Structure 1
Amino acid sequence: MCGRYNLLDSDSVRELLEGLGLEVQGKRLPDRYNIAPTEQVPVVVKAQGETGLEPMRWWLTPAWAKAPDTRYSMFNARSETLATSPAFKPSLHHQRCIFPLSSFIEWRKEGAIKQPYLVEYQGGAMAVAGLWSHWQGLETEFYSCTMITTAAVTGFEPFHHRQPAYLSTTEALAWLNPDVEGRKLLHLLRPQLPQPLRIRAIDPAVNSARNKTGLAFLAREEMCVD
């Protein structure tokens, strides 16, 4: 599961975006901390031969929905059920996207508290598979997206049994290709780590999604998952 993440203007994020076909030279990317579901987030999409970084609501609303609904968690989508889920199957066909991440936040129960941890690659930004949708009502319309998860690799299971669907840059380019039917790309969504993970305990202030001021690390030993 991934319910909070960070996206910072860094060399590694720029390298990832350029590797996906985006022109970011000379452009300022705003630092975003503690991004939470239902917020507007930038995702990489490819349509009509053009690749863009588009703002979308992080909580997918299917095109067929009568109205936006938050009764069901739609910010994550399980890779195992994409091809059968009425909510996600239409987007799987040709509405796929990539979430660029600097890091994400996961919680682990430690005694009476849930301790937050920052999870990041030891080097480089993360490319995570996603889906998007276009919803249109009588008076409004918007684009929305969901982040795909897979089963966790063994080393990450102490934190959560699910993890973001990490992709290498080559895999991410394939995932973005709208000319390929989505079922043919499901093999890309598997428990893997394109790079080792670094995991560090952070201040519980991030438990509140209103805290967007940055991250404070606790004086604890770092952990590595590879």
Structure 2
Amino acid sequence: MCGRYNVIDDPHTQGLLDVLGISTRLETHYNIAPTEDVQVILIEDGIPRLRHMRWWLVPSWVKEPSTQYSMFNARAETLGSSRAFRGPFKHQRCIVPASSFIEWMVEEGHKIPYDIQPKDSAFAFAGLWDRWGKGAESFYSCAIITTDAVPAFRQIHNRQPVMLPYDALNRWLDPEIEGKDLTDLLQPMLPVDLEVFESDTEINSSRHKRPPEHLSESVLLKVG
């Protein structure tokens, strides 16, 4: 799963935006939690753009926004059958840029956070978006897609965000391509090596908005 992540305005995230021809810079935010405002990439007027959205997808057809159901992650295996996600999966896909994300392991009865980051690059998480409401009351929202973890990642969690390789970014965003033709991108994979750091438990609170303090040397999870 993916329930917290970080975004840093640095050469790695700028490199991701450069691939898509986006000149706007990302805003640095730490320990981003579901329902918060995030920046995502989608196609508008035929070109990739950054847009602020709520990280908790609200389907366009619901009467009013609600947090009754967990809608910040979408399972890759059920996108085509989910009432909430099957519509956006067809033509409303987005990319959620991230510098790292956080997962927890229970060790001796304690939740220990781990900061997971791509080596020498930025994450491009596969996402979905929707627009709820009309006029001044309308807003955009999104969800991050998750899939089964690759073997190297299962020591941390049995699920992982879908991490898009950079050569597939434009294909994923293209609204002319139906989601059913992109299922190859939803398979478990690590497009780049990952570095994993044990972090201070202060990050367990979503109110902690400072850079994660690493308490260990990195462990490298290699592609394949």
**Is TM (by shorter chain) over 0.5?**
yes
Q: Deviations over 1:122-171 (max 9, x none)?
A: 11001110000000068711100000001001011111100010011111
TM-score, normalisation: structure 2: 0.96
In the other structure, the counterpart of 1:10 is: 10
* Structure 1 runs not aligned, ≥5 long: none
Report how far residue 48 of structure 1 moved: 2.6
RMSD in angstroms over aligned alpha carbons? 1.2
* Structure 2 runs not aligned, ≥5 long: none
How many equivalent residue pairs? Answer: 222
1:8 to 1:138, Cα distance in 2 relative to 1, 3 A: closer
In the other structure, the counterpart of 2:90 is: 93
Overall identity of the aligned pairs, in %: 46
After TM superposition, the structure 1 = structure 2 runs for residues 10-159 of structure 1, keeping only pairs within 5 Å, are 10-24=10-24, 27=25, 29-136=26-133, 140-159=137-156
Provide the C-alpha distance between the structure 2 equivalents of 1:84 and 1:164, rounded to a whole number of angstroms.
19
1:65 to 1:23, Cα distance in 2 relative to 1, 3 A: same
**Over 2 Å off, 4+ runs:** none
Provide the C-alpha distance between the structure 2 equivalents of 1:139 and 1:43, rounded to a whole number of angstroms.
21
Provide the C-alpha distance between the structure 2 equivalents of 1:112 and 1:16, rounded to a whole number of angstroms.
38
Report how far residue 21 of structure 1 moved: 2.3
Provide the C-alpha distance between the structure 2 equivalents of 1:74 and 1:111, rounded to a whole number of angstroms.
30
Alignment pair present for 1:178 and 2:181: no
Provide the C-alpha distance between the structure 1 equivalents of 2:4 and 2:135, rounded to a whole number of angstroms.
32
Provide the C-alpha distance between the structure 1 equivalents of 2:100 and 2:169, rounded to a whole number of angstroms.
17
SS at match of 2:23: coil
Provide the C-alpha distance between the structure 2 equivalents of 1:196 and 1:224, rounded to a whole number of angstroms.
7
In the other structure, the counterpart of 1:162 is: 159
Counterpart amino acid of 1:183?
K
Give yes or no for contact 1:67–1:137 (8 Å, CA) kept in 2: no
Q: Deviations over 1:70-124 (max 9, x none)?
A: 0110000000100110000010111000000100000000011010000001110
Q: Deviations over 1:179-206 (max 9, x none)?
A: 1111111211111111111000000001
